[in-house]
Amino acid sequence: MQRHLQGYLYLTLAMITVGSTVIASRVIASGMPPFTATALRFAAAFPFFLLLMGMTGTRLPSLPLRDWIIVFVQAGAGSVGYTTLLISGLKLTTAADAGVIIGTLPVVAGALSVVVLRETPRSSMVLAIVLATTGVLFIALSPDAGSGSLPGNALVFGAVICESLFILLNKNLSTPISALTQSALMTGIGFGVAMVAAVLAEGVPREFSAGAMSAVIYYALVPTVVGFILWYAGAERVSGVEASLFTAVAPVSALLMAFVILGEPLHSNQVAGVGCVLAAVLGLGLFQRRAMAAK
């Protein structure tokens, strides 16, 4: 198989695992508190990242205090904040709706860069924001939306903002950190933060449902660890712009898995919403690809 085709396959599989986090979070939400689930997710994933670091000879970089502060904030927002808000939101909304909202991540991250970092907004970014917003509005303003889904969707969108802040903060690191090292740091620090929050906010639970515990283990090992390996195996075989296009697979896979695995009905507003999000993400990626080719 050609190197590029291998890369496309790995990236597709990686984004399918990302889409499956919505399904896993939906199962977790029905049988486990969010901070406890987040702590258990990181506790299961952290040893595997340490093992990968040992196998590849990766070492922790020497970071200045400012960068360590950024790393801790990233772990709190992008790791703990994202996971707990996603699980909390999925107590109130459907996995299909959440999948559409999660798909807006590349656009939201780009919009925050414009707002916070004062980057000049390109016409492609403005169009992508409009399309992604339209996609979310299809979900939020749907007549099928129940009384609990709007707060649930807002929590899921809060998870997207947390992950976008992680990306934004990454641009402010003065010392480059390898993806593997950063993943190990995020899971290790995230475990500590989530464990403290779980004890303070949720106490020590006496038992978990088997389904929720299985979903946590799946979330930790498949999307978190295997998804990481697949993504970077694919990313090293294609350009960065090409890799970014594959983020569009995540909302589609989440929508289909919600229908097939959870048996959620598929509504026209969800199809229209994911269509707008796909157009936003793919359009933005294709514009960046043309811009890179023109240089």
Q: Residue-wise pLDDT tens for the chain (295 aa)?
A: 577 788 889 999 999 999 999 999 999 999 899 999 999 999 999 999 999 999 999 888 888 999 999 999 999 998 999 999 999 999 999 998 999 999 898 888 888 887 777 777 777 778 888 888 888 888 776 666 554 588 899 999 999 999 998 888 888 888 888 889 999 999 999 999 999 999 999 887 777 888 999 999 999 999 999 999 999 888 888 877 677 778 888 999 999 999 999 998 888 888 888 888 888 888 777 776 666 655 5
Please say whether the beta carbons of 15 and 247 come within 8 A. yes
Q: What 3-state DSSP class applies to 18?
A: helix
Helix or strand (DSSP H, E) at 64: none
Q: Rounded distance, CA 254 to CA 97, Å?
A: 9
How many angstroms separate the CA atoms of 91 and 177, rounded?
A: 35
In this structure, which amino acid lies at residue 202? Answer: E
Q: Indicate whether this model's pTM tops 0.85.
A: yes
Q: What would you report as the CA-atom Rg of the chain, rounded to the nearest whole angstrom? A: 19
- Helix-helix angle 179-202:82-89, to 10 degrees: 50
Nearest C-alpha neighbor of 48 from the set 189, 200, 226: 226
Tell me the helices (H) and strands (E) count for the chain, helix number first: 14, 0
The Cα angle at residue 86 between residues 85 and 87, in degrees rounded to 5 = 90
